Structure 1
């Protein structure tokens, strides 16, 4: 029974670590790319320019 409490504690610690990393990423601007998705479809297949 003791191992069960230990595993629950470890899993909560890991979950809180990932939640903290996600919140840090959101607050630091990791997901603030507003320009690229709107124009990505325009530049998918660029052909080389021949003189």
Structure 2
């Protein structure tokens, strides 16, 4: 019985902490673009062309 008196408030406190953390991430905009990272990995933004090799660079 003494263990429940400690564990129940601890579990409720951790649940409230997790809920507050989730609300903070929602307000911060963490879930605004869930498909963005998956699409960004497919496209190369750096369209730089490599320098052309010349015949006198031996």
Please, which runs of 5 or more residues in structure 1 have no aligned partner?
43-51
CA-atom RMSD in angstroms: 2.7
Distance 2:31 2:14 in 1: 22
Report the equivalent of 1:12.
Answer: 12
Distance 1:3 1:34 in 2: 42
How much does 1:5 deviate?
Answer: 1.6
Q: Is the alpha carbon distance of 1:9 and 1:35 closer, same or farther for their aligned partners in structure 2, counting shifts above 3 Å? A: closer
Distance 1:31 1:2 in 2: 41
Identify which of structures 1 and 2 has the higher relative contact order when contacts are C-alpha pairs closer than 8 Å and 6+ apart: 1
Please, which runs of 5 or more residues in structure 2 have no aligned partner?
44-58
How much does 1:21 deviate?
Answer: 0.3
Stretches of 4+ moved more than 4 A in 1?
39-42
Return the index of the structure with the highest Cα Rg.
2
